[in-house]
Amino acid sequence: MVFDLTLTDEQQQTRQWAHDFARREMREATVDGVPVHRHYDEAEEFPWPVVQKAAGIGLYGLDYYQMVGQDPSGITSALVLEETFWGCAGIGLAIFGSGLALAGLVATGTGEQIGTWAPRIFGTPDDVKVGAYAVSEPGAGSDVSRIRTRATKVDGGWLLDGEKIWITNGGIADVHVVVATVDPSLGHRGQASFLVTGDAEGFAQTKKTRKLGIRASHTAELAMTDCFVPDEQLLGGQDRLDAKLERARNPDRERRSGALSTFEATRPIVGIQAVGVARAAYDASVTYARQRETFGVPIVQHQAIAFKLADMATDIDAARLLCWRGINMAVTQTPFLHAEGSMAKLHAGRVAVRVADEAIQIHGGFGYSREFDVEKFSRDAKIYEIFEGTKEIQQLVISRAITREG
């Protein structure tokens, strides 16, 4: 397919729709006189009413994924994410974080499991639910082969035992996709995913994590103690797991798995969120630089400030294009031969951090105060160099891909 950068009328309307929602419900609406995005940042609370409103207009839930899925270029989803995360990255993640659970379910579940559990992740517009994807552990972040949460086969199901850390929506989710090891000797090849409901016996949120940024997004630690999960909640089912373990025990027969390309496909989606944060910081900077006067002129007339804005705009456009390419490659199932998905996230994360830092600089002392939003954008931006693969892991993946022979 030709990759056309001209937005269709429909894409422009969808972008405007997402932008209007973000502006109205996150920036302009208030709680006790405080703008919604600042309120949830300061309260460090999950923004249930905003997610409910998003569900009410079709921005949350399966309807949303069906709507953006109709665009064969994938760019509609990029536009919606950039605008929503422009509004607030924490609230954006509250709205779109459940997509991780959906991705985990769709990647490994059977058709029947997807049909049953996908609607349950989101609930209904009148009774919204969220989902979580739980991989990371105290001793296993970048190195997921070290996962210790153990799944042991028992009559009629499995017993899960272990701890998870940093889990977005962990404990408040109705459905958790939990990755556990069924055979630790096989590293990541000995792992399986399970659907664990928030009310399962032996499953608990042990701590809510307090964070630097994206504070409206709920992050928690989880513990599973003899947590029983019925057979039907092993994603992919027993036969598929047995076949996978058999291949792992006979490496000669194991073909190169598609695991790398799964991560490559999701990383540009995270990257475009970072572009939204960077644009928020940039937009605030342009407005401020036009208004603030020093030495008799608006600071935008000082070349030092104007050049900063020029670099910020250029960096954001470059990051956006990398993300659009990665998202387009994912939806058209183009192989990521040079780790183009990781490139998009690596660059977009760096751009968000750099642009938000320059935004504080442009705002001078006001940028360092909580009176202005740019300090929040800077705190929010940093996560994009850490989660869904740190920037060093992206560099590792890219360097391996570009130096691979043949």
Ligand X SMILES: Cc1cc2nc3c(=O)[nH]c(=O)nc-3n(C[C@H](O)[C@H](O)[C@H](O)COP(=O)(O)OP(=O)(O)OC[C@H]3O[C@@H](n4cnc5c(N)ncnc54)[C@H](O)[C@@H]3O)c2cc1C
Q: Which residues are catalytic?
A: 388
Q: What are phi and psi of 161, to 5 degrees?
A: -140, 130
194 in helix, strand or coil? Answer: strand
φ/ψ bin of 30: left (φ > 0), alpha (ψ from -120 to 50), beta (otherwise):
beta
State the minimum distance, in angstroms, from the CB of residue 213 to ligand X.
8
The dihedral through the CA atoms of 134, 136, 137, 138 has a sign that is negative
Strand partners, 191: 181
State the minimum distance, in angstroms, from the CB of residue 166 to ligand X.
3
CB 41 within 8 A of CB 376: yes
State the minimum distance, in angstroms, from the CB of residue 212 to ligand X.
9
Spatial CB neighbours of 243, under 8 Å, sequence gap ≥ 6: none
State the minimum distance, in angstroms, from the CB of residue 240 to ligand X.
22
Residues at the site binding ligand X, with contacts judged by CB under 6 A: 100, 133-136, 141-142, 166-168, 211, 219, 383, 386-388, 390, 392-393, 396
The dihedral through the CA atoms of 390, 394, 395, 396 has a sign that is positive
CA-based R_g, the chain, Å: 22
Whose Cβ is closer to ligand X: residue 93's or residue 200's?
A: 93
Whose Cβ is closer to ligand X: residue 14's or residue 136's?
A: 136
State the minimum distance, in angstroms, from the CB of residue 147 to ligand X.
10
State the minimum distance, in angstroms, from the CB of residue 2 to ligand X.
35
Whose Cβ is closer to ligand X: residue 212's or residue 243's?
A: 212
Whose Cβ is closer to ligand X: residue 173's or residue 289's?
A: 173
Residue nearest to ligand X (CB): 141
CB 135 within 8 A of CB 144: yes
User: What is the DSSP code (8-state) at residue 340?
Assistant: H
Whose Cβ is closer to ligand X: residue 83's or residue 388's?
A: 388
Closest CA to 148 of 138, 158, 157: 138
198 in helix, strand or coil? Answer: coil
Whose Cβ is closer to ligand X: residue 14's or residue 174's?
A: 174
- The encoded tokens of residue 151 equal 């799944």
Helix residue ranges per DSSP H, 28-110: 36-43, 48-56, 62-69, 75-87, 89-96, 98-108
Strand partners, 134: 178
